[in-house]
Amino acid sequence: MSSSRIDGSATPSTALIDGYRHGRVPRPVREQQLLDIAEQQFALRGYDGVSIEEIARLAGVSRPIVYDYFGDKEAVYLACLRRARAELEKMILEAAASATTPRDTLERATAAYFEFVERRGQQWTVLFGGAGLSGHGAADAEQLPFATVSRIRDLIAARDPGVEPVPPEAFAHAISGAAEQVAKWWRANPQLTREDVLARQSAFAWGGLGQLFGEPHR
């Protein structure tokens, strides 16, 4: 997540954004600041409860600046989705890169997912909060989860290059969907530890996935 935050001790007009004063903030830094603010507001209030005006006010900029960067609220939301999902996928792929067996791959990738849920709860809420877009960004938003499923499919297939393509695809969808539902259950039961939730999801997923590798109970 970007570190381009407004210094809480200053007003938006005098705050430093990553060390830059108002009016001198480079475009990439300002863009990340706007996404940080938008992400927070979407997580707290939902898509319908957020306006471009509120994002601009909290960022200490004019409304036309937000439109110049993104176009409209739907584009802001889609940018938040893309950024959060890219970070989630990066964590999963980096964790799985050091795995040595199929089950190790599953457990490391699953651990990274639940670490994201725990440490990036705001981003997870935006990703899986259920806001449905109806405008120009709807198709893109619907495709983003399938890209993550494809990453999971590739991790599975890489452990057995000779496997037929359909089983990894099916298991990738099942693992992704189950992890999302378990995460929702965990957030409704915060007394459970990440280790508790990870153990249950990993055992459940391996009970099915292990069939591809001939060791469902190991």
Q: Which residues of 175-197 are buried (b: 16+ CB within 10 A; e: fewer)?
A: bbeebbebbeebbeeeeeeeeeb
Going from the N-terminus, what domains does the chain have, and what CATH number goes with each? 16-71 (1.10.10.60), 80-213 (1.10.357.10)
- Give me 46's structure tokens: 């939902």
- Give me 50's structure tokens: 């957020």
Residue of 117, 114, 96 whose CA lies nearest to 105: 96
pLDDT given at position 2: 47
With 0-12 / 13-18 / 19 or more C-beta atoms within 10 angstroms meaning exposed / middle / buried, residue 130 is exposed
Phi, then psi, of 30 in degrees rounded to 5: -65, -40
The residue to which tokens 């806001």 are assigned: 131
pLDDT given at position 130: 73
pLDDT category at 57 given cuts 50, 70, 90 is very high
The pTM assigned to this predicted structure is 0.85
Mean of the per-residue pLDDT values of the chain? 88
